[in-house]
Amino acid sequence: MKKLFYAMLLLSAIVPSCNPSKNDGWVSLFNGKDLTGWKQLGGRNGNAKYEVINGEIVGTTVVDTPNSFLVTEKTYSDFIFEVDLFLEEPMNSGIQFRSLSTDDYKEGRVHGYQCEVDPSSRAWSGGIYDEARRGWLYPMTLNPEGGKSFKLNDWNHYRIECIGSTIRTWLNGVPAAYLIDDLTGEGFIALQIHSVGEGKGGRHIKWKNIRIKTENLEATTETNSIFVMNNVNGDLSAGEKSNGWAWLWDGRSGESWKTMVPGLSPEDRWKFDDGVLTILSMAEPAPSKLLDISLDVPLNYFDIQWKFMLTEGSASGLAYFCDPVSGFPGLEFQLQDNETTGDTIAVHSLASLYGIKAAELKSRHIRPAGEWNHARLVVRPDKQVEHWVNGVKALEYSLDDEDLKDILPKNNLPGNILLKDEGTQVSFRDFKIKQM
């Protein structure tokens, strides 16, 4: 009996586990021998070189050719994807997912979500970029520690989870990006070789252990405090709630907003529709006809975020620490279409502290009129204030700064927020708050 027991124990040690939950559903996307299941897109998508060497896909940069893509022949919607990649020298690259190439979009140019490969000092590896479309959706300024684990001249493990509108990435086991976005629900996966200039040809990037799971998906459930960028209208996700976020105004009713003009209601100048609040354009703006609206929720230290959409030549603002009793108008987070207003005064630009401190925000981080931008206003207990746009910090200052001493009342906290009516059309939605 004892001999039988040891025989069975030995057998169990050498026979692989039959547990169906172990690696259940994983499918390899690379056979280690050739590029079966993949195809290279040419045309406007570059002609860098892809080949299989020693059981790895090896990409080689070619000077003066556009970004190149080796794409899966199949498309995928919900999945968990993993890959190991290796860079010998500094170069930019990325992993496309839920991406497309259609004749009716920029002559077939690849566009869609990309998980960044960035070994530079910026360390944005693991961030999410919208290739040839909206630009950065999750820059690693939102999670500075997430991309620091990238190793040059060594193997790096990437994991991408796409389940419904929730998109999350990991780099070498470290949480990187947490995005909620529903613009594209299905597309191919692609290995990108970035375009390079003179002197940077012949550089290599390698990929191996490429696998995907599309059935019986279970999202990673560990909690972490990284920022959740949510682009879905009217949605407050479980990840945001676990990080302390709540609705400041959920868009369901205009009753929360008040005007400062007796006898007038917000509906006299503002439109409420499907969670979106819009100030309507005025044919001939006149100061006496403008109608600011206030949210009567006194705030002191907080983290607020919201979405805004400008129109050509438009301007507005979100004022904070407004005091209807003393009449203090507040400090204003400026909203302006820098490209077409004709106002080139630095302290009037987008994300500036209007009239006082100028923001530093590059045009590539601003989405044009007619598209939604993300704004964030942080007031910390140490009185440090931050203005953010699309995940990039545009301005930081202190409420104790010398140039504010003659502007702020002695007891400037708490106060209300107020939306400015400048007579031009601007839309707002998804006001969320995290109390400090």
Per-residue pLDDT reduced to its tens digit, 66-107: 899 999 999 999 999 999 999 988 888 999 999 999 999 999
Conformation bin of residue 55: beta by default, left when phi > 0, alpha when psi is -120 to 50: left
- pLDDT at position 432, please? 97
pLDDT of residue 42 exceeding 70, the answer is: yes
Q: For residue 72, give Cα distances in angstroms to 16, 39, 99, 112, 182.
A: 31, 6, 10, 14, 21
Percentage of residues of the chain with pLDDT beyond 90: 76
Global pTM value: 0.91
Q: How confident is the model at residue 223 (pLDDT cuts 50, 70, 90)?
A: low
Q: For residue 364, give Cα distances in angstroms to 136, 345, 423.
A: 9, 19, 27
Mean pLDDT estimate for the chain: 91
pLDDT of residue 5 exceeding 60, the answer is: no
- pLDDT at position 6, please? 42
Q: Give the whole-angstrom CA distance, residue 421 versus residue 280.
A: 9
Q: Give the whole-angstrom CA distance, residue 385 versus residue 434.
A: 14
Domains and CATH numbers, the chain: 24-229 (2.60.120.560), 245-435 (2.60.120.560)
> Pairing state of beta strands 174-180 and 229-230?
parallel
pLDDT of residue 355 exceeding 90, the answer is: yes
pLDDT of residue 9 exceeding 70, the answer is: no
Q: For residue 392, give Cα distances in angstroms to 109, 142, 278, 364, 432.
A: 27, 8, 25, 11, 18
Joined together, the tokens standing for residue 11 give 């057998």
420-433 residue pLDDT tens: 999 999 999 999 99
Joined together, the tokens standing for residue 316 give 């507005």
172-212 residue pLDDT tens: 999 999 999 999 999 999 999 998 888 788 899 999 999 99
Q: Give the whole-angstrom CA distance, residue 176 versus residue 134.
A: 20
Contacts of 81 (CB under 8 A, 6+ apart): 95, 97, 158, 159, 160, 161, 162, 189, 211, 212, 213
Name which residue leads in pLDDT, 343 or 76: 76
- pLDDT at position 296, please? 84
